[in-house]
Chains A and B, each alone.
Chain A
Amino acid sequence: MQGWVDSLIRGWGYDPATWPWTQIIYLLFMGLFAFIVINFAAITAGIFSWAERRVAARMQSRVGPNRVGPAGFLQWVADAVKLLTKEDLVPAESDKILFRIAPYFMMVGFACVFVALPFSHRLVVADMNIGIFFILAVTALIVVGIIMSGWSSNSKWSLFGAIRSAAQIISYEIPAGMALMIPVLLAGTLSTQGIIRAQGGWPWQWFVFNNPATFAAFFIYFISALAEGNRTPFDLPEAESELVSGYNTEYSGMRFSYFFLVEWGNMWVMSALATTMFLGGWQIPGVSAAQLDAMTGGRAVLFELLSLGIFVAKTLFWVFVVMWLRWTLPRIRVDQMMNMCWKYLVPVSFIAVLFVAGWMLVVRAAPGLATAMHWIMFVGAGVIPAAFFVNRVARNIRDTGDRFDFTSNW
């Protein structure tokens, strides 16, 4: 976005390198972008809270919140207003300063991710050359916030939840980091925009179908991201039946809602990152990134919106998958969670990195193999399983004598 601000200053007839007000203008735009990004994060998190409840309800043959606004869409506004007006309680025996600031650590760690997350071809707050590294680094702030909230609450439930969460996040950072290494290897850059540009618009050009190791890496990343976001089936830190509510047990009102904001906002973050790294990001099928760069005027705006739409659609699909998983799988045990990480995801992710490194050498020697593998993976791991799955779902409905009905009883 710096380039865009620079061109704006040039448009006013000044040279950004020498004009004395440049830094002030930068500061103003930084504030503006931060405002936009935080509001985007907060509003999407709110909307997801409504969407999750509707999805959960449908999957349980219920209706869900449908009274506030059309299809209950404004439910999240009502909830937010309610939470805002609640009393902000601080337990008498707590560490008051840490207790008060812990939610902000979570918020900061969460909001910083949006700095490097792309939205469309040109729309990214800062296309840093260390983008992925930055994202992995700032998400670690969330675990600091969780530990602080658990410790400062001075309650055994909170502390248990926080310790579990820390153990979980630190463990799953490893497979997540290794899985994200693979697109970095393939693209040769840490920049999020660069990684998207290294892929193509058509599904067989995405990194997920690049070779078997990237396919595995995508799922490893997705599972690890679920665990880092404390989402079911890895919601041990807030297991209601064991820990009341985990690290946020003692919180109420707006501070409590920050935790939930982060949890739901994290669904966007993990899905957007998966889209960026493995699923071709904002790439428009049939239009290359170079062609997009060359466009000007209304055509450029149109294609910019198209790329934004593609990115949002892919991301929302994976947000839906996250919700879908939550209402499908039971919570796993602590030992199962650790087994899964250290015995399965970590070794497989290491093997995948080695495989990709070797594969890149092979492809350099025989470029035809790469295209062949793209098609084999796309058809064998993408189209055929998807067709079987759709058939399976249709059979589940048909075999019980029910029928497909998505529109009634909203």
Chain B
Amino acid sequence: MAETVTTARQTPGAFGAYVKNVRDTAKSFWEGMSVTLSYMFRKPITTQYPDRVPVPVRDTIPPRYRGFLEVDMDICTACQACERACPIAVINIDILKGDGKTTPKLRMERFDIDIGKCMYCGLCVEPCPTGAIQHTREFEGAVMHFNNLTLRFVPDPLVPAVPYKPPKGADAFPRKPLGEITRQLLAAWDAPPPPFPTKEQLEGSKGAAAHGKEKPAGLDPTAMGRTLAAKALQVKEDKPQLQKVLEEAMAGTDCGDCGYPDCKGYSTALAYGKDTSTEKCAPGGADTKAMLETILVSLKTGKLPDAPAAPTDGAPAPAEAKAPAAPAGDAPAGPPLAQTLPKDELFKHVLDAMAGTDCGDCEYPDCEGYAKGIVYEGQNDLDRCAPGGEDTRAKLFQIMLGTKPPPK
């Protein structure tokens, strides 16, 4: 537009500058308006997402895009490698154990992936031995309720999924086309949100202390407090042991609400008598407070508080849970199987003790490899079977050494 007129001295004449300004204005109109008009007669480059696209957007993004996760339960070996790999506990797998004869050794009651929490790092995809868990290219996650963002790959816990037995030496697995399963689950996202919990439900869930350490359902804090108090009396002078007992009563979330960096700090302070307050564990709530009080009172008086009039069913439960899960029949000490059986028989026992998922976490290609390693190649490390967990560990120690496994 009309610029500031340059002064008369710099130009041949003020009138020349004046006319030049008018000419420049007309020229810039001419140029500018021809450019904008030319764009008016071209095709807009905007893609009209989501409904007026020639192909679904997910099919246009690169194949290695990390969208929502998908698990093909038909080729999942229940090794839980993905669950262990997840840095933020997005994947939740509940395993139902069987004897391996009448029922499968492992079954999955639950395989949930919380897409709302997932950070799409892809660490779960890498350890999967069969490629059952994969990133799809699905990304449209608008839902009616946040809970709907949890993908449940085992839809009904009463019908647990049976793990896949990969054929020996296979390196390709019959996976369903990527994205089909997740898409089906996504279709359910349009469902209306669940009803708001009633007041009773809310109070019920508060009592059960859903955070932190998992406690058996129907746990009686009074009974557990008595059990812990009994333990504490045995190790009264051994402060580090006492601290461990005290820590068991806590929620185990390391939340730091108590003013100590973690549960260990708080329990240490209690064990050494530096702190006497039992009220600081916020996640544990009233349960933890009651248990801690029971323990501290019995430490002071030197005897257990009077048992409640009618012991509840829950009372023996924690004691059972504490005991190592070694088979009762093998308990009498004798020479371990490793010394009595020929190696081929021993190999069968060892292999039977394992989870059988061929996950490869033990750094052997499959379960057979690990079993061979233990029996024939002198592998001493019996801790490697991650899917089998405490059960497999206990069995392996029993078979190979005839002892209970050391605590982790």
Contacts and interface: CB of A to CB of B under 8 A. Distances in A.
Interface of A: 55, 57-63, 66, 233, 324-325, 327-329, 332, 335-336, 339-340, 343-344, 389, 392-394, 396-397, 402-406, 408-409
A329 B44 CA distance: 20
Contacts of A392: 30, 34
Contacts of B4: 335-336, 339
A344 B35 CA distance: 26
Interface string B39-72: 1111111101000000000000000000000000
B36 A59 contact: yes
B46 A63 contact: yes
Interface in B1-15: 1-5
Given A332-B1, A343-B2, A343-B5, A408 B36 contact: no
B33 interface: yes
B5 A61 contact: no
B39 A59 contact: yes
B37 interface: yes
Interface centre among B22, B32, B33, B40 (most CB of A within 10 A): B40
A61 B41 contact: no
Contacts of B44: 57-58, 61-63, 409
A59 B33 CA distance: 10
B266 to A, nearest CB: 53
A339 B2 contact: yes
Contact of A393 (B1, B2, B21, B41): B41
Contacts of B29: 328-329
A335 to B, nearest CB: 7
B38 interface: yes
A343 B19 CA distance: 12
B135 to A, nearest CB: 32
Contact of A389 (B3, B34, B39, B41): B34
A360 B35 CA distance: 39
5 contacts: A58-B39, A60-B39, A62-B44, A393-B34, A406-B40
B38 A393 contact: yes
Contacts of A343: 2, 5, 18
B42 A63 contact: no
A27 B353 CA distance: 103
Nearest to A396: B38
B58 to A, nearest CB: 22
Given A63-B48, A336-B1, A339-B4, A405 B41 contact: yes
Contacts of B39: 58-61
Contact of A406 (B32, B41, B48): B41
Given A58-B40, A344-B22, A408-B43, A328 B32 contact: yes
B48 A409 contact: yes
A339 B36 contact: no
Contacts, number: 83
A332 B4 CA distance: 12
A61 B35 CA distance: 12
B152 to A, nearest CB: 35
Nearest to B43: A405
A344 B24 CA distance: 13
Given A324-B37, A344-B2, A389-B34, 13 more contacts: A59-B40, A61-B39, A63-B44, A324-B36, A328-B35, A339-B4, A343-B2, A344-B22, A393-B37, A393-B41, A397-B42, A409-B43, A409-B46
B34 to A, nearest CB: 4
Given A340-B1, A340-B2, A62 B40 contact: no
A336 B28 CA distance: 15
Contacts of A324: 33, 36-37, 40
A351 B375 CA distance: 111
A404 B43 CA distance: 8
Nearest to A57: B44
B40 A55 contact: yes
Which 3 pairs show the lowest CB-CB distances between chains A and B?
A: A396-B38, A405-B43, A328-B36
Contact of B30 (A59, A233, A389, A408): A389
A324 B35 CA distance: 11
Contacts of B5: 339, 343
A82 B250 CA distance: 56
A375 B32 CA distance: 28
Contacts of B22: 344
Contact of B1 (A233, A389, A406): A233
A406 B39 CA distance: 10
A396 B34 contact: yes
Contacts of B36: 59, 324, 327-328
B18 to A, nearest CB: 8
A408 to B, nearest CB: 5
Contacts of A403: 42
Nearest to B26: A219
Contacts of A402: 42
A127 to B, nearest CB: 35
Contacts of A327: 36
Contacts of B33: 324-325, 328
Nearest to A340: B2
Given A328-B33, A392-B34, A397 B41 contact: yes
A404 B41 contact: yes
Contacts of A62: 44, 46
A61 B18 CA distance: 36
A397 B43 contact: no
Contacts of B3: 336
B168 to A, nearest CB: 56
A328 B35 CA distance: 8
Contacts of B21: 344
Nearest to A331: B1
Contacts of B37: 59, 324, 393
B16 to A, nearest CB: 15
B11 to A, nearest CB: 15
Contacts of A389: 30, 34
A61 B45 contact: yes
A15 to B, nearest CB: 57
Given A393-B34, A409-B46, A336 B40 contact: no
A325 B1 CA distance: 12
A221 B362 CA distance: 86
Contacts of B2: 332, 336, 339-340, 343-344
A61 B42 contact: yes
A394 B44 CA distance: 17
A335 B5 CA distance: 11
B38 A397 contact: yes
Contacts of A59: 36-37, 39-40
